[in-house]
Structure 1
Amino acid sequence: MSTGRLAGKTAIVTGAGSFEDGLGNGKATAILMAREGARVLLVDNRIEAAEVTAAAIAEEGGEAAVFEADVANEADVKALVADAVRRWGRIDILDNNVGIEAWGRIGEITDEQWDRVFRINVTGSMYTARHVIPVMAAEGGGSIINISSTASRKGGGLATYAASKGAIEAMTRALALDHGRENIRVNCIQPGAVYTPHAWAKGVRPDQDDAPMADWMREARKNAAPLGVEGTGWDIGYAALFLATDEARFITGVTLPVDGGLVL
Protein backbone atom coordinates (compact mmCIF):
# COMPACT_ATOMS: atom_id res chain seq x y z
CA MET A 1 0.00 0.00 0.00
CA SER A 2 1.44 3.35 -1.00
CA THR A 3 -1.25 5.56 0.53
CA GLY A 4 -2.60 6.05 4.01
CA ARG A 5 -1.72 7.85 7.21
CA LEU A 6 1.38 5.69 7.70
CA ALA A 7 2.53 5.55 4.08
CA GLY A 8 6.29 5.22 3.77
CA LYS A 9 6.73 4.30 7.43
CA THR A 10 8.09 1.15 9.00
CA ALA A 11 6.55 -0.39 12.10
CA ILE A 12 7.72 -3.15 14.42
CA VAL A 13 4.89 -4.91 16.26
CA THR A 14 5.89 -7.42 18.92
CA GLY A 15 3.47 -10.13 19.94
CA ALA A 16 1.98 -9.79 16.46
CA GLY A 17 1.09 -13.42 15.98
CA SER A 18 -2.31 -15.00 16.39
CA PHE A 19 -3.99 -18.11 15.10
CA GLU A 20 -7.05 -18.31 12.90
CA ASP A 21 -9.41 -18.64 15.87
CA GLY A 22 -8.27 -15.56 17.74
CA LEU A 23 -7.53 -11.87 17.40
CA GLY A 24 -4.81 -10.60 19.69
CA ASN A 25 -4.00 -6.95 20.25
CA GLY A 26 -0.77 -7.27 18.28
CA LYS A 27 -2.42 -8.91 15.27
CA ALA A 28 -5.14 -6.25 15.13
CA THR A 29 -2.59 -3.44 15.48
CA ALA A 30 -0.38 -4.83 12.74
CA ILE A 31 -3.29 -5.24 10.32
CA LEU A 32 -4.54 -1.69 10.94
CA MET A 33 -1.08 -0.17 10.51
CA ALA A 34 -0.56 -2.09 7.27
CA ARG A 35 -3.94 -0.84 6.01
CA GLU A 36 -2.66 2.69 6.53
CA GLY A 37 0.41 2.02 4.41
CA ALA A 38 3.04 0.97 6.95
CA ARG A 39 5.51 -1.81 6.24
CA VAL A 40 5.26 -4.03 9.31
CA LEU A 41 7.75 -6.41 10.90
CA LEU A 42 5.67 -9.00 12.75
CA VAL A 43 7.60 -10.26 15.76
CA ASP A 44 6.52 -13.30 17.76
CA ASN A 45 8.13 -16.24 19.51
CA ARG A 46 5.88 -18.52 17.42
CA ILE A 47 6.76 -18.02 13.80
CA GLU A 48 3.66 -19.88 12.58
CA ALA A 49 1.42 -17.46 14.48
CA ALA A 50 3.17 -14.45 12.94
CA GLU A 51 2.73 -16.01 9.51
CA VAL A 52 -1.06 -16.08 10.02
CA THR A 53 -1.00 -12.31 10.59
CA ALA A 54 1.30 -11.84 7.59
CA ALA A 55 -1.14 -13.76 5.40
CA ALA A 56 -4.03 -11.56 6.54
CA ILE A 57 -2.03 -8.44 5.66
CA ALA A 58 -0.94 -9.81 2.29
CA GLU A 59 -4.54 -10.69 1.43
CA GLU A 60 -5.42 -6.99 1.82
CA GLY A 61 -2.46 -5.87 -0.30
CA GLY A 62 -0.25 -4.74 2.59
CA GLU A 63 3.44 -5.34 3.16
CA ALA A 64 4.75 -7.33 6.11
CA ALA A 65 7.55 -9.68 7.10
CA VAL A 66 7.84 -12.08 10.02
CA PHE A 67 10.61 -12.46 12.58
CA GLU A 68 10.80 -15.12 15.29
CA ALA A 69 12.21 -13.69 18.51
CA ASP A 70 12.10 -13.79 22.28
CA VAL A 71 12.05 -10.12 23.31
CA ALA A 72 13.47 -11.05 26.72
CA ASN A 73 16.66 -12.04 24.87
CA GLU A 74 18.64 -8.92 23.94
CA ALA A 75 20.46 -10.69 21.10
CA ASP A 76 17.10 -11.50 19.50
CA VAL A 77 16.01 -7.87 19.85
CA LYS A 78 19.22 -6.59 18.23
CA ALA A 79 18.61 -9.02 15.36
CA LEU A 80 14.99 -8.02 14.76
CA VAL A 81 15.85 -4.31 14.74
CA ALA A 82 18.67 -4.98 12.29
CA ASP A 83 16.29 -6.99 10.11
CA ALA A 84 13.79 -4.13 9.92
CA VAL A 85 16.54 -1.67 8.98
CA ARG A 86 17.98 -4.06 6.40
CA ARG A 87 14.59 -4.54 4.76
CA TRP A 88 13.26 -1.00 4.80
CA GLY A 89 16.06 1.33 5.89
CA ARG A 90 14.24 2.92 8.83
CA ILE A 91 12.01 2.35 11.86
CA ASP A 92 9.25 4.85 12.61
CA ILE A 93 6.96 2.95 14.96
CA LEU A 94 7.48 0.43 17.74
CA ASP A 95 4.44 -1.25 19.27
CA ASN A 96 5.23 -3.43 22.30
CA ASN A 97 2.50 -6.05 22.78
CA VAL A 98 4.28 -8.93 24.51
CA GLY A 99 3.07 -9.75 28.00
CA ILE A 100 2.44 -12.68 30.34
CA GLU A 101 0.68 -13.13 33.68
CA ALA A 102 1.33 -14.91 36.96
CA TRP A 103 -1.73 -15.49 39.11
CA GLY A 104 -1.58 -15.15 42.88
CA ARG A 105 -1.11 -12.76 45.74
CA ILE A 106 2.39 -11.68 46.66
CA GLY A 107 2.79 -14.44 49.24
CA GLU A 108 1.71 -17.11 46.78
CA ILE A 109 3.98 -16.46 43.82
CA THR A 110 7.50 -17.79 43.44
CA ASP A 111 10.66 -15.83 42.77
CA GLU A 112 10.83 -17.56 39.41
CA GLN A 113 7.34 -16.34 38.47
CA TRP A 114 8.18 -12.79 39.53
CA ASP A 115 11.43 -12.77 37.56
CA ARG A 116 9.87 -14.28 34.43
CA VAL A 117 6.98 -11.81 34.32
CA PHE A 118 9.30 -8.82 34.75
CA ARG A 119 11.82 -10.25 32.30
CA ILE A 120 9.25 -10.58 29.52
CA ASN A 121 6.90 -7.68 30.26
CA VAL A 122 9.32 -4.97 31.39
CA THR A 123 12.81 -5.97 30.29
CA GLY A 124 11.51 -7.03 26.86
CA SER A 125 9.95 -3.60 26.29
CA MET A 126 13.13 -1.95 27.56
CA TYR A 127 15.29 -3.95 25.12
CA THR A 128 13.17 -3.03 22.11
CA ALA A 129 13.17 0.65 23.09
CA ARG A 130 16.92 0.57 23.76
CA HIS A 131 17.70 -0.65 20.26
CA VAL A 132 14.99 1.16 18.30
CA ILE A 133 15.49 4.64 19.75
CA PRO A 134 18.91 5.27 18.12
CA VAL A 135 17.48 4.29 14.73
CA MET A 136 14.47 6.56 15.20
CA ALA A 137 16.63 9.45 16.39
CA ALA A 138 18.87 9.16 13.34
CA GLU A 139 15.80 9.38 11.07
CA GLY A 140 14.29 12.38 12.82
CA GLY A 141 11.93 10.77 15.31
CA GLY A 142 9.22 8.19 15.76
CA SER A 143 6.48 6.80 17.96
CA ILE A 144 6.79 4.11 20.63
CA ILE A 145 3.61 2.54 22.00
CA ASN A 146 3.75 0.36 25.10
CA ILE A 147 0.93 -1.81 26.41
CA SER A 148 0.13 -1.90 30.10
CA SER A 149 -3.18 -2.96 31.70
CA THR A 150 -5.90 -1.72 34.01
CA ALA A 151 -4.38 -4.32 36.36
CA SER A 152 -1.81 -1.63 37.19
CA ARG A 153 -4.65 0.18 38.96
CA LYS A 154 -6.88 -2.67 40.15
CA GLY A 155 -4.92 -5.90 39.85
CA GLY A 156 -6.20 -7.99 42.75
CA GLY A 157 -4.89 -11.56 42.54
CA LEU A 158 -2.31 -10.50 39.97
CA ALA A 159 0.32 -8.81 42.11
CA THR A 160 3.24 -9.62 39.82
CA TYR A 161 1.44 -8.72 36.60
CA ALA A 162 0.07 -5.51 38.12
CA ALA A 163 3.53 -4.45 39.30
CA SER A 164 5.05 -5.15 35.88
CA LYS A 165 2.40 -3.10 34.10
CA GLY A 166 2.88 -0.22 36.54
CA ALA A 167 6.58 -0.36 35.72
CA ILE A 168 5.81 -0.13 32.01
CA GLU A 169 3.74 3.01 32.59
CA ALA A 170 6.57 4.58 34.61
CA MET A 171 9.11 3.64 31.95
CA THR A 172 6.85 5.20 29.30
CA ARG A 173 6.93 8.56 31.10
CA ALA A 174 10.70 8.39 31.60
CA LEU A 175 11.37 7.61 27.93
CA ALA A 176 9.05 10.40 26.83
CA LEU A 177 11.03 12.87 28.94
CA ASP A 178 14.41 11.55 27.89
CA HIS A 179 13.77 11.43 24.14
CA GLY A 180 11.24 14.15 23.39
CA ARG A 181 13.91 16.46 22.00
CA GLU A 182 14.75 13.75 19.48
CA ASN A 183 11.13 13.95 18.28
CA ILE A 184 10.41 10.51 19.71
CA ARG A 185 6.97 10.24 21.28
CA VAL A 186 6.40 7.49 23.85
CA ASN A 187 2.90 6.60 24.99
CA CYS A 188 1.13 3.70 26.64
CA ILE A 189 -2.24 2.01 26.15
CA GLN A 190 -3.98 0.55 29.20
CA PRO A 191 -6.42 -2.15 28.00
CA GLY A 192 -9.32 -3.21 30.14
CA ALA A 193 -11.42 -6.35 29.73
CA VAL A 194 -10.53 -7.20 26.16
CA TYR A 195 -11.42 -10.60 24.73
CA THR A 196 -8.23 -11.90 23.17
CA PRO A 197 -6.63 -15.35 22.90
CA HIS A 198 -4.56 -14.42 25.97
CA ALA A 199 -7.67 -13.80 28.07
CA TRP A 200 -9.35 -16.80 26.46
CA ALA A 201 -6.57 -19.14 27.61
CA LYS A 202 -6.80 -18.04 31.23
CA GLY A 203 -10.55 -17.61 31.42
CA VAL A 204 -11.76 -20.38 33.72
CA ARG A 205 -8.95 -21.21 36.10
CA PRO A 206 -5.34 -20.00 36.13
CA ASP A 207 -4.11 -23.61 35.84
CA GLN A 208 -6.12 -24.31 32.67
CA ASP A 209 -4.06 -22.78 29.89
CA ASP A 210 -6.20 -24.30 27.15
CA ALA A 211 -9.63 -23.54 28.63
CA PRO A 212 -11.90 -21.12 26.76
CA MET A 213 -13.35 -18.26 28.78
CA ALA A 214 -16.73 -19.21 30.22
CA ASP A 215 -19.73 -17.20 28.99
CA TRP A 216 -20.57 -16.07 32.51
CA MET A 217 -17.07 -14.66 32.97
CA ARG A 218 -17.21 -12.76 29.69
CA GLU A 219 -20.56 -11.31 30.74
CA ALA A 220 -19.23 -10.33 34.18
CA ARG A 221 -16.19 -8.63 32.66
CA LYS A 222 -18.38 -6.76 30.19
CA ASN A 223 -20.79 -5.55 32.85
CA ALA A 224 -18.01 -4.36 35.17
CA ALA A 225 -17.44 -1.30 32.95
CA PRO A 226 -19.83 1.67 32.56
CA LEU A 227 -20.20 1.18 28.79
CA GLY A 228 -21.26 -2.44 29.30
CA VAL A 229 -19.50 -3.67 26.18
CA GLU A 230 -16.70 -6.15 25.63
CA GLY A 231 -13.46 -4.90 24.14
CA THR A 232 -11.61 -6.59 21.28
CA GLY A 233 -8.15 -6.42 19.78
CA TRP A 234 -9.49 -3.89 17.25
CA ASP A 235 -10.18 -1.41 20.05
CA ILE A 236 -6.56 -1.58 21.18
CA GLY A 237 -5.34 -1.54 17.59
CA TYR A 238 -7.23 1.63 16.69
CA ALA A 239 -5.81 3.40 19.74
CA ALA A 240 -2.29 2.32 18.78
CA LEU A 241 -2.87 3.42 15.19
CA PHE A 242 -3.88 6.90 16.34
CA LEU A 243 -0.82 7.22 18.60
CA ALA A 244 1.41 6.16 15.70
CA THR A 245 0.09 8.80 13.30
CA ASP A 246 0.98 12.46 12.96
CA GLU A 247 -2.49 13.22 14.32
CA ALA A 248 -0.98 12.46 17.75
CA ARG A 249 2.10 14.67 17.17
CA PHE A 250 1.43 16.68 20.35
CA ILE A 251 0.88 13.67 22.62
CA THR A 252 3.65 12.01 24.61
CA GLY A 253 4.11 10.44 28.03
CA VAL A 254 0.42 9.53 28.23
CA THR A 255 -1.16 6.33 29.52
CA LEU A 256 -4.47 5.97 27.70
CA PRO A 257 -7.13 3.69 29.24
CA VAL A 258 -9.02 1.77 26.56
CA ASP A 259 -11.38 -0.03 28.87
CA GLY A 260 -15.00 1.01 28.46
CA GLY A 261 -14.60 3.10 31.60
CA LEU A 262 -13.53 0.20 33.82
CA VAL A 263 -11.00 2.15 35.86
CA LEU A 264 -13.73 4.58 36.87
Structure 2
Amino acid sequence: MRLKDRVAIVVGAGQSPGEGIGNGRATALTFAREGAKVLCVDHNLASAQETVDMIAESHGVAAAFRADVTKNTELKGMVEDAKGRWGRIDVLHNNVGVSLAGGDAELLDISEEAFDRCVAINLKSCVWAARHVIPIMRQQRSGAIINISSMAAITTYPYVAYKATKSAMVAFTEQLAYQNAQYGIRANVILPGLMNTPMAVDTRAREFRKSRAEIEAERDSKVPLRQKMGTGWDVANAALFLASDEASFITGVTLPVDGGASVRRG
Protein backbone atom coordinates (compact mmCIF):
# COMPACT_ATOMS: atom_id res chain seq x y z
CA MET A 1 0.00 0.00 0.00
CA ARG A 2 2.67 2.47 -1.06
CA LEU A 3 0.07 5.06 -2.11
CA LYS A 4 -2.37 4.60 0.77
CA ASP A 5 -4.70 7.60 1.15
CA ARG A 6 -3.17 9.37 -1.86
CA VAL A 7 -5.22 10.85 -4.69
CA ALA A 8 -3.93 10.32 -8.23
CA ILE A 9 -5.02 11.60 -11.62
CA VAL A 10 -4.05 9.34 -14.51
CA VAL A 11 -4.52 11.12 -17.83
CA GLY A 12 -4.88 8.53 -20.56
CA ALA A 13 -6.24 5.79 -18.30
CA GLY A 14 -8.19 4.16 -21.11
CA GLN A 15 -6.46 2.58 -24.06
CA SER A 16 -6.48 2.09 -27.80
CA PRO A 17 -8.20 -0.96 -29.32
CA GLY A 18 -6.00 -4.04 -29.44
CA GLU A 19 -4.38 -6.79 -27.45
CA GLY A 20 -2.71 -6.49 -24.07
CA ILE A 21 -2.74 -3.54 -21.71
CA GLY A 22 -1.70 0.05 -22.27
CA ASN A 23 0.66 2.06 -20.09
CA GLY A 24 -2.08 4.32 -18.73
CA ARG A 25 -4.50 1.57 -17.78
CA ALA A 26 -1.73 -0.48 -16.17
CA THR A 27 -0.64 2.57 -14.16
CA ALA A 28 -4.18 3.34 -12.97
CA LEU A 29 -4.63 -0.27 -11.86
CA THR A 30 -1.25 -0.28 -10.11
CA PHE A 31 -1.86 2.99 -8.27
CA ALA A 32 -5.27 1.74 -7.09
CA ARG A 33 -3.82 -1.59 -5.98
CA GLU A 34 -1.31 0.34 -3.88
CA GLY A 35 -4.06 2.28 -2.10
CA ALA A 36 -4.59 5.42 -4.18
CA LYS A 37 -7.94 6.87 -5.15
CA VAL A 38 -7.63 7.26 -8.92
CA LEU A 39 -9.37 9.61 -11.33
CA CYS A 40 -9.19 7.75 -14.64
CA VAL A 41 -9.22 10.36 -17.41
CA ASP A 42 -9.61 9.65 -21.10
CA HIS A 43 -11.23 11.15 -24.20
CA ASN A 44 -13.09 7.83 -24.49
CA LEU A 45 -15.29 7.69 -21.39
CA ALA A 46 -16.27 4.06 -22.00
CA SER A 47 -12.62 3.02 -22.02
CA ALA A 48 -11.92 5.00 -18.85
CA GLN A 49 -14.93 3.34 -17.24
CA GLU A 50 -13.56 -0.09 -18.19
CA THR A 51 -10.46 0.78 -16.20
CA VAL A 52 -12.59 1.93 -13.26
CA ASP A 53 -14.58 -1.31 -13.39
CA MET A 54 -11.35 -3.33 -13.29
CA ILE A 55 -10.23 -1.36 -10.24
CA ALA A 56 -13.60 -1.89 -8.54
CA GLU A 57 -13.33 -5.65 -9.09
CA SER A 58 -10.22 -5.56 -6.89
CA HIS A 59 -12.01 -3.38 -4.30
CA GLY A 60 -10.09 -0.25 -5.25
CA VAL A 61 -11.46 3.30 -5.45
CA ALA A 62 -11.67 5.09 -8.78
CA ALA A 63 -13.86 7.30 -10.94
CA ALA A 64 -13.98 7.95 -14.68
CA PHE A 65 -13.73 11.40 -16.22
CA ARG A 66 -14.00 12.32 -19.88
CA ALA A 67 -11.69 15.04 -21.13
CA ASP A 68 -10.42 16.23 -24.48
CA VAL A 69 -6.89 17.07 -23.38
CA THR A 70 -6.47 19.61 -26.16
CA LYS A 71 -9.02 21.82 -24.35
CA ASN A 72 -7.69 23.72 -21.35
CA THR A 73 -11.14 24.12 -19.81
CA GLU A 74 -11.60 20.34 -19.71
CA LEU A 75 -8.21 19.83 -18.05
CA LYS A 76 -9.22 22.43 -15.46
CA GLY A 77 -12.46 20.54 -14.91
CA MET A 78 -10.54 17.30 -14.48
CA VAL A 79 -8.44 18.77 -11.67
CA GLU A 80 -11.47 20.37 -10.04
CA ASP A 81 -13.30 17.04 -10.13
CA ALA A 82 -10.48 15.17 -8.38
CA LYS A 83 -10.02 17.90 -5.76
CA GLY A 84 -13.76 18.24 -5.15
CA ARG A 85 -14.24 14.48 -4.96
CA TRP A 86 -11.35 13.59 -2.63
CA GLY A 87 -10.05 16.85 -1.18
CA ARG A 88 -6.48 16.81 -2.46
CA ILE A 89 -4.23 15.77 -5.37
CA ASP A 90 -1.02 13.89 -4.65
CA VAL A 91 -0.07 12.48 -8.05
CA LEU A 92 -0.51 13.70 -11.61
CA HIS A 93 0.41 11.11 -14.20
CA ASN A 94 0.42 12.43 -17.79
CA ASN A 95 0.25 9.45 -20.12
CA VAL A 96 -1.40 10.77 -23.29
CA GLY A 97 0.42 10.78 -26.59
CA VAL A 98 -0.05 10.15 -30.31
CA SER A 99 2.21 9.66 -33.28
CA LEU A 100 0.95 7.75 -36.30
CA ALA A 101 -2.62 7.80 -34.96
CA GLY A 102 -2.44 11.59 -34.92
CA GLY A 103 -1.20 11.85 -38.51
CA ASP A 104 2.48 12.21 -37.61
CA ALA A 105 4.88 11.66 -40.49
CA GLU A 106 8.37 12.39 -41.76
CA LEU A 107 9.23 16.04 -42.36
CA LEU A 108 8.37 16.23 -46.06
CA ASP A 109 5.06 14.43 -45.55
CA ILE A 110 3.59 15.91 -42.38
CA SER A 111 0.69 18.35 -42.59
CA GLU A 112 0.32 21.46 -40.47
CA GLU A 113 -2.91 20.09 -38.99
CA ALA A 114 -1.26 16.83 -37.92
CA PHE A 115 1.69 18.64 -36.39
CA ASP A 116 -0.56 20.99 -34.42
CA ARG A 117 -2.70 18.08 -33.21
CA CYS A 118 0.32 16.09 -31.98
CA VAL A 119 1.71 19.15 -30.17
CA ALA A 120 -1.65 19.82 -28.52
CA ILE A 121 -2.04 16.23 -27.29
CA ASN A 122 1.56 15.31 -26.48
CA LEU A 123 2.90 18.51 -24.98
CA LYS A 124 0.36 21.29 -24.48
CA SER A 125 -1.97 19.00 -22.52
CA CYS A 126 0.75 18.12 -20.04
CA VAL A 127 1.75 21.75 -19.55
CA TRP A 128 -1.81 22.82 -18.78
CA ALA A 129 -2.59 19.80 -16.59
CA ALA A 130 0.46 20.71 -14.51
CA ARG A 131 -0.62 24.36 -14.51
CA HIS A 132 -3.87 23.39 -12.79
CA VAL A 133 -2.46 20.96 -10.19
CA ILE A 134 0.61 22.97 -9.15
CA PRO A 135 -1.32 25.54 -7.03
CA ILE A 136 -2.98 22.68 -5.13
CA MET A 137 0.29 20.83 -4.61
CA ARG A 138 2.07 24.02 -3.54
CA GLN A 139 -0.58 24.62 -0.91
CA GLN A 140 -0.19 21.01 0.27
CA ARG A 141 3.61 21.38 0.19
CA SER A 142 3.75 17.99 -1.50
CA GLY A 143 2.99 16.20 -4.74
CA ALA A 144 4.47 14.11 -7.53
CA ILE A 145 4.14 14.70 -11.26
CA ILE A 146 5.11 11.91 -13.62
CA ASN A 147 5.26 12.61 -17.34
CA ILE A 148 5.51 9.94 -20.00
CA SER A 149 7.92 10.85 -22.77
CA SER A 150 9.53 8.22 -25.02
CA MET A 151 12.89 6.81 -26.02
CA ALA A 152 12.14 8.62 -29.28
CA ALA A 153 13.33 11.74 -27.45
CA ILE A 154 16.94 10.52 -27.30
CA THR A 155 17.21 8.01 -30.15
CA THR A 156 16.61 8.08 -33.88
CA TYR A 157 12.93 8.32 -34.74
CA PRO A 158 11.54 9.24 -38.16
CA TYR A 159 8.31 11.08 -37.33
CA VAL A 160 8.64 14.79 -36.67
CA ALA A 161 5.96 15.77 -34.17
CA TYR A 162 6.38 12.84 -31.78
CA LYS A 163 10.16 13.26 -31.64
CA ALA A 164 9.90 17.01 -31.05
CA THR A 165 7.13 16.90 -28.45
CA LYS A 166 8.56 14.01 -26.46
CA SER A 167 11.94 15.75 -26.36
CA ALA A 168 10.24 18.92 -25.12
CA MET A 169 8.53 16.87 -22.42
CA VAL A 170 11.92 16.10 -20.88
CA ALA A 171 12.88 19.78 -20.73
CA PHE A 172 9.49 20.75 -19.32
CA THR A 173 9.73 18.11 -16.60
CA GLU A 174 13.17 19.34 -15.58
CA GLN A 175 11.79 22.87 -15.36
CA LEU A 176 8.83 21.68 -13.26
CA ALA A 177 11.20 19.90 -10.91
CA TYR A 178 13.48 22.90 -10.42
CA GLN A 179 10.75 25.52 -10.12
CA ASN A 180 8.73 23.54 -7.58
CA ALA A 181 11.31 21.75 -5.45
CA GLN A 182 11.01 24.38 -2.70
CA TYR A 183 7.34 23.43 -2.31
CA GLY A 184 8.08 19.75 -1.80
CA ILE A 185 6.80 18.87 -5.28
CA ARG A 186 8.70 16.31 -7.35
CA ALA A 187 8.57 15.92 -11.13
CA ASN A 188 10.12 13.09 -13.13
CA VAL A 189 9.80 11.75 -16.65
CA ILE A 190 9.73 8.16 -17.92
CA LEU A 191 11.06 7.18 -21.35
CA PRO A 192 9.38 3.94 -22.42
CA GLY A 193 11.23 2.01 -25.07
CA LEU A 194 9.66 -0.56 -27.37
CA MET A 195 6.49 -1.63 -25.58
CA ASN A 196 3.94 -4.29 -26.42
CA THR A 197 0.85 -2.14 -26.03
CA PRO A 198 -2.25 -1.66 -28.18
CA MET A 199 -1.16 1.86 -29.18
CA ALA A 200 2.35 0.80 -30.17
CA VAL A 201 1.69 -2.55 -31.83
CA ASP A 202 -1.92 -2.72 -33.02
CA THR A 203 -1.85 0.83 -34.41
CA ARG A 204 1.24 -0.03 -36.48
CA ALA A 205 -0.29 -3.28 -37.65
CA ARG A 206 -3.27 -1.34 -39.01
CA GLU A 207 -1.16 1.48 -40.44
CA PHE A 208 1.37 -0.75 -42.22
CA ARG A 209 -1.16 -3.46 -43.13
CA LYS A 210 0.81 -6.18 -41.37
CA SER A 211 -0.21 -8.80 -38.86
CA ARG A 212 0.24 -8.13 -35.18
CA ALA A 213 2.68 -11.04 -35.02
CA GLU A 214 4.88 -9.44 -37.70
CA ILE A 215 5.02 -6.12 -35.88
CA GLU A 216 5.75 -7.88 -32.59
CA ALA A 217 8.62 -9.87 -34.11
CA GLU A 218 10.16 -6.78 -35.73
CA ARG A 219 10.05 -4.82 -32.47
CA ASP A 220 11.15 -7.70 -30.25
CA SER A 221 14.28 -8.20 -32.36
CA LYS A 222 15.44 -4.64 -31.58
CA VAL A 223 15.34 -4.98 -27.78
CA PRO A 224 18.70 -5.89 -26.17
CA LEU A 225 17.18 -7.43 -23.04
CA ARG A 226 15.92 -10.93 -23.95
CA GLN A 227 14.85 -9.67 -27.40
CA LYS A 228 11.41 -9.00 -25.93
CA MET A 229 9.45 -5.78 -25.69
CA GLY A 230 8.31 -4.44 -22.34
CA THR A 231 4.67 -4.16 -21.32
CA GLY A 232 2.45 -1.53 -19.76
CA TRP A 233 3.18 -3.09 -16.37
CA ASP A 234 6.87 -2.17 -16.70
CA VAL A 235 5.97 1.49 -17.15
CA ALA A 236 3.41 1.27 -14.34
CA ASN A 237 5.95 -0.15 -11.90
CA ALA A 238 8.40 2.65 -12.70
CA ALA A 239 5.61 5.20 -12.21
CA LEU A 240 4.66 3.62 -8.88
CA PHE A 241 8.22 4.00 -7.63
CA LEU A 242 8.39 7.65 -8.71
CA ALA A 243 5.00 8.39 -7.14
CA SER A 244 5.86 6.73 -3.83
CA ASP A 245 7.83 7.88 -0.81
CA GLU A 246 10.61 5.54 -1.91
CA ALA A 247 11.49 8.22 -4.46
CA SER A 248 11.17 11.11 -1.99
CA PHE A 249 14.66 12.43 -2.84
CA ILE A 250 14.31 11.97 -6.60
CA THR A 251 13.21 14.84 -8.82
CA GLY A 252 14.09 16.05 -12.30
CA VAL A 253 15.12 12.55 -13.37
CA THR A 254 14.71 11.06 -16.84
CA LEU A 255 14.18 7.31 -16.41
CA PRO A 256 14.44 5.00 -19.44
CA VAL A 257 12.29 1.86 -19.24
CA ASP A 258 13.65 0.36 -22.40
CA GLY A 259 15.27 -3.05 -22.03
CA GLY A 260 18.74 -1.58 -22.49
CA ALA A 261 18.15 0.26 -25.76
CA SER A 262 19.55 3.53 -24.42
CA VAL A 263 22.99 2.07 -23.72
CA ARG A 264 23.65 1.36 -27.38
CA ARG A 265 25.82 3.90 -29.16
CA GLY A 266 26.58 4.43 -32.83
TM range (shorter): over 0.9
Deviation at 1:212, TM superposition (A): 7.2
Which runs of no fewer than 5 residues in structure 2 stay unpaired? none
Q: Does 1:189 align with 2:190?
A: yes
Percent identity, aligned pairs only, is 46
Which residue matches 1:26? Answer: 24
CA distance in 1, matches of 2:44, 2:210: 20
Q: Does 1:221 align with 2:222?
A: no
Which residue matches 1:72? Answer: 70
SS of 1:11's partner is strand
Q: Which amino acid aligns with 2:229?
A: E
SS of 1:202's partner is helix
Which residue matches 1:11? Answer: 8
SS of 2:189's partner is strand
Matches within 5 A, 1:174-213: 174-204=175-205, 206=207
SS of 2:186's partner is strand
CA distance in 2, matches of 1:127, 1:72: 9
Deviation at 1:141, TM superposition (A): 1.0
Q: Which amino acid aligns with 2:233?
A: W
Deviation at 1:250, TM superposition (A): 0.8
Q: Which amino acid aligns with 2:239?
A: A
TM-score, L = length of structure 2: 0.93
Matches within 5 A, 1:108-257: 108-204=109-205, 206=207, 214-227=212-225, 228-257=227-256
Contact 1:202/1:212 (CA < 8 Å) preserved in 2?
Answer: no
SS of 1:49's partner is helix
Q: Which amino acid aligns with 1:12?
A: I
Deviation at 1:223, TM superposition (A): 2.1
SS of 2:133's partner is helix
Greater helix proportion: 2
Q: Which amino acid aligns with 2:96?
A: V
Contact 1:99/1:120 (CA < 8 Å) preserved in 2?
Answer: yes
RMSD of equivalent CA atoms: 1.5
1:126-177 per-residue CA deviation (whole Å, 9 max, x = no partner) reads: 0110001111111121000000011112243212111110000110001111
SS of 1:263's partner is helix
Q: Which amino acid aligns with 2:191?
A: Q
Deviation at 1:195, TM superposition (A): 1.0
Range moving further from structure 2, 189-198 or 11-20: 11-20
Range moving further from structure 2, 12-21 or 82-91: 12-21
Deviation at 1:10, TM superposition (A): 0.1
Deviation at 1:230, TM superposition (A): 1.6
CA distance in 1, matches of 2:98, 2:224: 27
Deviation at 1:224, TM superposition (A): 1.1
Contact 1:199/1:213 (CA < 8 Å) preserved in 2?
Answer: no
Deviation at 1:66, TM superposition (A): 0.5
Contact 1:93/1:143 (CA < 8 Å) preserved in 2?
Answer: yes
1:2-29 per-residue CA deviation (whole Å, 9 max, x = no partner) reads: xx11111100000001368541101000
Contact 1:20/1:52 (CA < 8 Å) preserved in 2?
Answer: no
Deviation at 1:213, TM superposition (A): 5.2
TM-score, L = length of structure 1: 0.94
Q: Which amino acid aligns with 2:147?
A: N
SS of 1:204's partner is helix
SS of 2:85's partner is helix
Which residue matches 2:258? Answer: 259
Contact 1:22/1:196 (CA < 8 Å) preserved in 2?
Answer: yes
Range moving further from structure 2, 165-174 or 148-157: 148-157
Which runs of no fewer than 5 residues in structure 1 stay unpaired? none
SS of 2:105's partner is coil
CA distance in 1, matches of 2:145, 2:157: 28
CA distance in 2, matches of 1:196, 1:51: 19
